[in-house]
Amino acid sequence: ETGVTQSPTHLIKTRGQQVTLRCSSQSGHNTVSWYQQALGQGPQFIFQYYREEENGRGNFPPRFSGLQFPNYSSELNVNALELDDSALYLCASSRHSGGDYEQYFGPGTRLTVT
């Protein structure tokens, strides 16, 4: 069984640029969630995708957007990068079986905005 993978591992961008982060979900999982983890804090929920549709969103501005593909892989796009967007971005997948909210995380992408 293949776990959750994310690419790239590290990324450095300049303020104002756009970035795309990628995630492949665990085999058998059809739901993907994205989180932002700033230093010293817990993961903050950005949004979730279920069967290619956004299924919930946290308190993040519209410049954070996402996609889920038919194979359940996903992308997180961030436009107009700001310095505060520097963080570890985590992707997690789960089976959407109602009541089972165990999410399995990838290793994350470390984004640095300069």
Partner 1 sequence: DQQVKQNSPSLSVQEGRISILNCDYTNSMFDYFLWYKKYPAEGPTFLISISSIKDKNEDGRFTVFLNKSAKHLSLHIVPSQPGDSAVYFCAASAPPGDMRFGAGTRLTVKP
Whether 85 and 113 have beta carbons less than 8 Å apart is answered as: yes
Dihedral-angle region of residue 22 (phi above 0 means left; psi in -120 to 50 means alpha; beta otherwise): beta
Instruction: Choose which of 19, 85, 106, 111 interacts with partner 1 (CB under 8 A).
Output: 106
**Looking at 44, 65, 73, 75, which residue binds partner 1 (CB under 8 A)?**
44
Residue closer to partner 1 (CB basis): 19 or 92? 92
Q: Identify which of residues 17 and 41 has a Cβ nearer to partner 1 in the complex.
A: 41
Q: Tokens for 34? A: 């994205």
Q: Are 21 and 109 in contact (CB under 8 A)?
A: yes
Footprint of partner 1 (CB under 8 A): 4, 31, 33, 35, 40-45, 48, 50, 55-56, 58, 90, 92, 99, 101-108
